[in-house]
Structure 1
Amino acid sequence: MDKLKDKVAIITGGAGGIGKGMAMAFVKEGAKVVIVDLNEETGNEAVKELQQYQPESMFIQANLAEHDKLKRIVDQVVAQHGKLNILVNNAHASKNKPFVETTREDLDLSFDTGFYPTFYLMQAAIPHLKETNGSIINFASGAGIQGHAKQAAYAAAKEAIRGMTRVAANEFGKDGINVNLIAPIANSPGVQQWAKEQPEYYQEVVSNIPMQRFGELEEDIGPAAVFLASDDSNYITGQTINVDGGSVKF
């Protein structure tokens, strides 16, 4: 299990949910993973689990909405490990509201925690990724691709990330950097809580997924991320990979 052997990866939002699932999948394939998260307690707990497989894994506590400090994350990782191979921009916070009730503050939250951190971390990482023929994995969503109700702020930021990802793929393909997106449907802690609170609605959503289930964090989303971060995907860039049980078809 060494598809990512000796590769150094940054995963934002890596202390829980999809981020932690990917981090676990990465370390089991040999990567040195640096998880970046706002929550110090869960971050420290998560990195202890990662270190059971890869002792050089790290946790960096950071508020991604503090955009002027994001370059320091990349600098710290490169100073510690001497290189950077993989950047995974997973973290994102947003509020769901009807379109006409969505405020500037709602838009700012979604862009400040999702779009802008993705943008600035990519800018900081690209010079180092050029040296390693590295990979960037950003996150899209069916909310943007299909236009889910009550997710205007989230969908707008996710589609902005998709557009930026395609531009970066075109600009940096010549440098051996591949830049792709994952659009997941995942059995995250938030989904699990929602299933308890609204079991009928949850079952309705599941019934519309062709594979009749939400994807598991490490077992379903993790391998897709491993593939995009590994040498197996060297000739794939600018693509949105829908890891969603067949929900989005185009």
Structure 2
Amino acid sequence: MGKLDEKVVIITGGAGGIGGGMAKAMVKEGAIVAIVDLNEEAGEAMAKELQEISPKSSFIQANLMDRDNLGNIVKTVAEKYGKIDVLVNNAHASKQVSIEETTQADLDLSFGTGFYATFYLMQAALPYLKETKGNVINFASGAGLAGHETQGVYAAAKEAIRGITRVAANEWGRFGINVNIIGPLANSQGVEAWAKAQPEYYEAVKNKIPLGRFGDVENDIGRVAVFLASEDSQYITGQTIMADGGSIMLR
């Protein structure tokens, strides 16, 4: 038996990167995973890979900027599987730009795919999570915690997500729902592309990580997600767990 046997999990941005790594880690622990992504081709490919282990897993093509459709994502999964145990709000698109040059469109993209999608999906999933005493896993970033340059719109949305996560942990604890955050640092496709484009800078950043490497999306970040989605973490809520090799040590 796996740690997540027959748990129904929604993962946004699940077609690749950290989302795909979490999906793979979870199906190997017995979960049924519904991945949500804008990229239909990548989503279908990931779904086929997941179905080799978890035949009931599936893909939903959706644009998280379409706020009116967010509730339908949750409803579709609940109707298909009869329940929802875990909501993972991983997807987030953003543009690197200085505060001085930030436009409303930049803010709309980051908050639309990040904070608003997270908020409205949590709201829509709440009735189902009450029934299962489920879990919510949201995502923070070192960009917000450290205030990295040119990451203003991304950092703002990520810190807003941290804020609503703590509020939800306080409000939803009475229902037996756990709400936590992962702050990852991993070799996603974006980081791999950056490593090829700027190998010296990549190595300099890697050398500052106490554990000396970037994380693996499945075996490092995915395993933390498995823990937070499982019964092993049921006395943990409202926490930001940094899965970043020790880069940021919260106090």
Distance 1:97 1:13 in 2: 22
The CA deviation string for residues 74-118 of structure 1, in whole angstroms up to 9 with x for no partner, is: 111111100000000000000011221122211111001111000
Matches of 2:106 and 2:36 in 1, distance apart? 23
The residue number in structure 2 matching 1:219 is 219
Q: Following the alignment from structure 2 to structure 1, what is the Cα–Cα distance between the partners of residues 208 and 97?
A: 22
**Residue of structure 1 in register with 2:125 after alignment:** 125
Q: Secondary structure at the match of 2:149?
A: coil
Q: Percent identity?
A: 66
Q: In the alignment, what sits opposite 1:8?
A: 8
Cα deviation for residue 212 of structure 1 reads 1.2
Letter in 1 for 2:149: A
Q: Deviations over 1:199-243 (max 9, x none)?
A: 111111111111111100001000000000000000100000000
Gaps of 5+ in 2: none
Distance in 1 separating the partners of 2:148 and 2:230: 32
Give the partner amino acid of 2:239. Q
Aligned to 1:206: 206
Residue identity opposite 1:150 in structure 2: T
The amino acid that maps onto 2:247 is S
In the TM superposition, structure 1's runs of 4+ consecutive aligned residues that sit over 3 Å from their partners are none
The normalised TM-score by structure 2 is 0.99
Partner deviation per Cα, 1:51-95 (whole Å, 9 max, x = no partner) = 011000010000000000010011111111000000000000000
- Residues 23-102 of structure 1 aligned to structure 2 (within 5 Å): 23-102=23-102
Give the 3-state SS of the residue equivalent to 1:181 in structure 2: strand
Task: Tell me, in whole angstroms, the C-alpha distance in 1 between the residues paired with 2:112 and 2:73.
Answer: 17
Classify the secondary structure of the residue corresponding to 2:154: helix
* Secondary structure of residue in 1 paired with 2:48: helix
Structure 1: give runs of 5+ residues left out of the alignment: none
Distance between the aligned counterparts of 1:114 and 1:208, measured in 2? 28
- How far apart are the structure 2 equivalents of 1:226 and 1:27? 10
The equivalent residue for 2:235 is: 235
> Quick one: distance in 2 between partners of 1:221 and 1:210?
17
CA distance in 2, matches of 1:9, 1:118: 15
**Residues in 2 aligned to 1:26 and 1:7: alpha-carbon distance in whole angstroms:** 9
